[in-house]
């Protein structure tokens, strides 16, 4: 297919849409990205791509859909209304009818839709049944439609995956609904994206409904145990009970995880339905290597491991690793991470600030709690760590500075240190210097990435101390630089 072909993505700023647009652009397509909120679109890593055509549309306004579809050869449909107010099933039906009619008027050749796995003859949740209805409406239209049906999608940013991540990360023991034993066939998000792109390139998929899943069929309880092992956490105790209704479960999840209740509830309701592929026809039409659940989780957590060495702003986000968090994903995507950021403006030049930084860090103390640091070093040795290490006169990448390791050093601009102390968390301290009209701006950022429940307790228990330490350290560097 030539690069001049234009493809419309309805729902381009969602979880799958963000990654699909990236894949289509990387494959040489011109993409017309449908959006409602321009701010969300501008945060995407591909927002300034030369082959991207942003187009504002409303799925409940058929004329805007016709205008967005005109000149396109195909459209991906990746929206649903389950997070909105009112009867979301009725809204989904109306939106699907509108797209079908708009596709006919605009002369589209294909519609590709991503729905959910589930048997209509079983007791499906409203959310999954609505997905089936949307598929039926699209296939009844005159434009050939293709439906892919998936269960849990494994990858950072996927709502169902993030719910599992937060539960397992934060709770050493948990009471769960009995549906946690329901069988499912999860699939890695990178495999989903390749199937979506492959359907566009394979005319044989037109008009078909295909189940897509990874190689593993297992319960959600098994999935949690696999995540526990891959993440390197201690054993989690899972106790399924029949009394937890979807409503109660969603309220409980809102206390344990940062995901909103309106998002968690329909996903929890869907757990009661078995989600296993009934056909594998797609594998011969769009062949690819399917990642196991263990491989997909490991890939999703690789970004976490990267964050344990570098802070968030060093990550090159949105580069084809679809299991990673992308720019513009919700704040809750990617698991727990916390930041303390302090800034100050000073008349001192960058050279003076850099000298001040080197004089404050290391063996000369940290200006705050200087008596605590040696004590913490002795405790670290007892826990099997290296304790405090004498700081070198000329630190370089890899050097040890007290209980820190230098992971980035740009003279007079940035110093990034990773804590080497034994603790249930990864801690990175970044000191940045920028010039401005009045002199310089100094910023200290402490990035804390907890590991397990103990990491969360340690964060909240010592939060006042950490805030004071960063403030005092910032004040001391500024004072020395100005003097």
- The tokens of 220 are what? 């959600």
Statement to judge: residues 252 and 123 lie in one domain: yes
In a domain, 330, yes or no: no
* CA–CA gap between residue 88 and residue 243 (Å, rounded): 27
**20-50: string of b/e by CB count within 10 Å (b at 16+)?**
bbbbbbeeebbbbbbbeeeeebeebbbbebe
* CA–CA gap between residue 189 and residue 144 (Å, rounded): 25
Q: Choose the most confident range, by mean pLDDT, from 21-30, 305-314, 370-379.
A: 21-30
Three-state SS at 2: coil
In a domain, 384, yes or no: yes
pLDDT value of position 313: 46
Residues 449-476 pLDDT 10s: 888 888 888 888 989 988 988 888 888 8
CB 212 within 8 A of CB 150: yes
In a domain, 395, yes or no: yes
pLDDT value of position 314: 43
Residues 402-423 pLDDT 10s: 778 888 888 888 888 888 888 8
pLDDT value of position 193: 97
Give the domain-ending residue among 314, 347, 378: 314
Statement to judge: residues 225 and 309 lie in one domain: yes
Which is more confident, 79 or 127? 79
* CA–CA gap between residue 453 and residue 465 (Å, rounded): 20
Give the domain-ending residue among 314, 329, 357: 314
Question: Sorting pLDDT into bands at 50, 70 and 90, what band is 316?
Answer: very low
Q: Say whether pLDDT at 31 is over 50.
A: yes
In a domain, 321, yes or no: no
Number of H helices, E strands in the chain: 15, 19
In a domain, 333, yes or no: no
Partnered with residue 343 across adjacent β-strands are 443
From 22, 34, 19, 25, select the one nearest 5 (Cα to Cα).
25
**153-186: string of b/e by CB count within 10 Å (b at 16+)?**
bbbbbbbbbbbbbbbbbbbeebebbebbebebbb
Q: What is the 3-state secondary structure (H, E, C) of 27-44?
A: CCCEEEEEECCHHHHHCC
pLDDT value of position 417: 87
Statement to judge: residues 192 and 265 lie in one domain: yes
Q: Looking up tokens 């397990």, which residue turns up? A: 452
Question: Sorting pLDDT into bands at 50, 70 and 90, what band is 383?
Answer: confident
Global confidence as pTM: 0.82
Average pLDDT of the residues in 3-9: 82
Q: Residue 304, CB half-sphere, CA atoms under 13 Å: how many?
A: 26
CB 31 within 8 A of CB 53: yes
Q: Say whether pLDDT at 268 is over 80.
A: no
Statement to judge: residues 284 and 372 lie in one domain: no
Statement to judge: residues 344 and 205 lie in one domain: no
* CA–CA gap between residue 404 and residue 421 (Å, rounded): 8
Statement to judge: residues 252 and 378 lie in one domain: no
Average pLDDT of the residues in 140-159: 95
Average pLDDT of the residues in 287-301: 95
Statement to judge: residues 144 and 235 lie in one domain: yes
Average pLDDT, the chain: 85
Those residues with Cβ within 8 angstroms of residue 252's Cβ, 6 or more apart along the chain or in another chain: 244
Statement to judge: residues 307 and 380 lie in one domain: no
Residues 180-215 pLDDT 10s: 888 999 999 999 999 999 999 999 999 999 999 999
Total of domains in the chain: 2
Q: Say whether pLDDT at 255 is over 80.
A: no
pLDDT value of position 244: 66
Statement to judge: residues 307 and 370 lie in one domain: no
Q: Say whether pLDDT at 7 is over 70.
A: yes
Element at 99 (helix H, strand E): helix 88-106
- The tokens of 378 are what? 């002795």
Which is more confident, 126 or 429? 429
| Residues above pLDDT 70, as percent of the chain | 88
pLDDT value of position 81: 66
Residues 86-135 pLDDT 10s: 577 888 999 999 999 999 999 999 999 999 887 766 667 777 888 899 99
Statement to judge: residues 226 and 303 lie in one domain: yes
Burial of 281 (0-12, 13-18, 19+ CB in 10 A): middle
Give the domain-ending residue among 314, 349, 367: 314
Q: Say whether pLDDT at 30 is over 50.
A: yes
From 149, 155, 196, 138, select the one nearest 325 (Cα to Cα).
155
Q: What is the 3-state secondary structure (H, E, C) of 261-288?
A: HHHHHHHHHHHHCCECCCCCCHHHHCCC
Question: Sorting pLDDT into bands at 50, 70 and 90, what band is 362?
Answer: low
Statement to judge: residues 307 and 413 lie in one domain: no
In a domain, 173, yes or no: yes
CATH number at residue 137: 3.40.50.720
Residues 384-395 pLDDT 10s: 777 667 666 677
The values of phi and psi at residue 289, to 5°, are -85, 125
* CA–CA gap between residue 465 and residue 479 (Å, rounded): 21
- Host domain of residue 39: 6-314
Statement to judge: residues 441 and 308 lie in one domain: no
**Alpha carbon distances (Å) from 11 to 22, 101, 313:** 13, 18, 27
In a domain, 331, yes or no: no
Partnered with residue 114 across adjacent β-strands are 148
In a domain, 326, yes or no: no
pLDDT value of position 97: 95
CATH number at residue 457: 3.30.530.20
């Amino acid at each position: 297919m030539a690069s001049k072909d234009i493809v419309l993505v309805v729902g381009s700023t969602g979880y799958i849409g963000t990654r699909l647009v990236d894949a289509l652009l990387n494959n040489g397509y011109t993409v017309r990205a449908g959006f409602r909120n321009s701010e969300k679109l501008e945060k995407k890593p591909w927002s300034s791509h030369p082959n991207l055509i942003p187009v504002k549309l409303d799925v409940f306004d058929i004329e805007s859909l016709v205008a967005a579809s005109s000149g396109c050869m195909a459209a991906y449909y990746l929206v649903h209304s389950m997070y909105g107010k009112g009867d979301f099933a009725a809204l989904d039906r109306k939106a699907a009818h509108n797209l079908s009619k708009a596709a006919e008027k605009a002369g589209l050749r294909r519609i590709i839709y991503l729905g959910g796995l589930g048997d209509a003859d079983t007791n499906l949740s409203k959310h999954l049944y609505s997905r089936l209805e949307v598929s039926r409406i699209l296939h009844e239209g005159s434009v050939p439609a293709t439906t892919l049906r998936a269960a849990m999608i494994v990858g950072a940013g996927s709502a169902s995956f993030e719910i599992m991540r937060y539960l397992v990360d934060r709770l050493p023991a948990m009471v769960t609904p009995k549906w946690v034993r329901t069988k499912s066939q999860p699939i890695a998000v990178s495999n989903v994206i390749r199937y979506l792109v492959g359907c566009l390139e394979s005319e044989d998929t037109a008009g078909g409904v295909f189940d897509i899943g990874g190689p593993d069929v297992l319960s959600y309880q098994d999935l949690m145990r696999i995540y526990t092992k891959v993440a390197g956490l201690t054993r989690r105790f899972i106790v399924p009970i029949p009394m937890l209704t979807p409503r109660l479960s969603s309220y409980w999840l809102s206390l344990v995880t940062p995901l909103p209740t309106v998002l968690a509830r329909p996903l929890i309701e869907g757990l009661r339905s078995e989600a296993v592929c009934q056909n594998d026809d797609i594998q011969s039409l769009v062949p690819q290597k399917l990642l196991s659940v263990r491989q997909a989780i490991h890939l999703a957590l690789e970004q976490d491991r990267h964050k344990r060495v570098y802070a968030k702003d060093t990550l090159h986000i949105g580069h084809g690793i679809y299991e990673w968090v992308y720019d513009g994903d919700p704040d809750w995507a990617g698991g727990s991470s916390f930041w303390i950021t302090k800034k100050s403006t000073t008349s001192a030049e960058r050279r003076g600030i850099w000298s001040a930084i080197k004089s404050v860090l290391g063996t000369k103390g940290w200006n705050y709690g200087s008596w605590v640091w040696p004590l913490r070093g002795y405790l670290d040795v007892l826990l099997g760590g290296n304790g405090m290490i004498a700081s070198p006169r000329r630190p370089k990448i890899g050097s040890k500075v007290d209980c820190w390791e230098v992971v980035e050093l740009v003279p007079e601009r940035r110093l990034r240190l990773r804590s080497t102390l034994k603790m249930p968390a990864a801690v990175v301290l970044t000191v940045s210097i920028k010039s401005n009209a009045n002199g310089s701006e100094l910023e200290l950022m402490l990035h804390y990435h907890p590991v397990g429940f103990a990491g969360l307790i340690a964060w909240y228990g010592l939060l006042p101390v950490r805030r004071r330490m960063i403030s005092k350290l910032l004040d001391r560097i500024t004072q020395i630089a100005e003097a």
